Structure 1
Amino acid sequence: MNRWACVGALALGATLTVTGCTAVAPTPSPSPTASAPAEASVPALGSLDEIAGTRWLVDDSQGDRTTVIFGTDGSVSYVSYGDSFAYPEDTWTLVGDTLTWQLTYGARYGVWTCSGTFDSASQVLSGTWTSTIGESGTLSAVQPIR
């Protein structure tokens, strides 16, 4: 092959290489995305008579949030900072329209006695708490979306 033919072949090869590198990659067609599952809504309670078997997010005046579960057997269990607790002495009672329950937080925070009433229009349980270590405050609770 003569020199000009060799240069031409190299130029053609370089052109093909550069063209191949600069070609725009095909844009993938968007694939259908599944829509996020809709969150279930919490059934509205008509009154506290329906509290058994429900779970509530309780915010207290100290700035803490506790998930409280009112058992169908009158027991109370709770989740605080990711840890679950259930003590046999923690129970709930309903007298008229006032719900009272106990939470055992241990020696540092004592045993809390909580009492509240339920507003069926807003679906909010609000009330007060007192502890065996002499503290007291307010609370507000709503059912979380499941």
Structure 2
Amino acid sequence: MKTSIGIKNENLAKVAEVLVKVLADEFVLYTKTRKAHWNVEGQDFYNKHLFFEAQYQQLDGIVDDMAERIRTLGHYAPATLREYLELTHLSEHHLETNDSLTYIKELLSDHESILIHLRENINNFASEFHDAGTSDYITGLMETHEKMAWMLRSHLK
């Protein structure tokens, strides 16, 4: 059934095209954060194990919300690893060590990259595509990533 929410179909398609890439980024970041949770080693293991767990749980909610936003707009959310790797702008680096600082730097870089990508697109949602709902949603998502990045960055002081 056609989605009729006051936004032209071509604009819905353009918004969904951006959002599927964001979803891929979020899923890759979620996976990398899970990897940090599972594989971190060192004297601070337990604290960082719990810290990474809290972050991947938050990202899990973001992934679900993003997929549901895409579906709300009448489009299908990608849901395979192949699709995510084709759509993401993040990389899957193989880290040389499993210490917390290495993971933190890598994850912080990814959060900052996502933030830049979100900022580059946020105005288009409202002004070009006439989708204030997605613009508002992305604003909240940026705030979440800003806080998550701050938490990671604070470990580097």
- Smaller-chain TM-score range? under 0.3
Structure number with the bigger relative contact order (C-alpha 8 A, sep ≥ 6) is 2
TM normalised by structure 1 equals: 0.23
Normalized per residue, the structure richer in strand is 1
TM normalised by structure 2 equals: 0.22
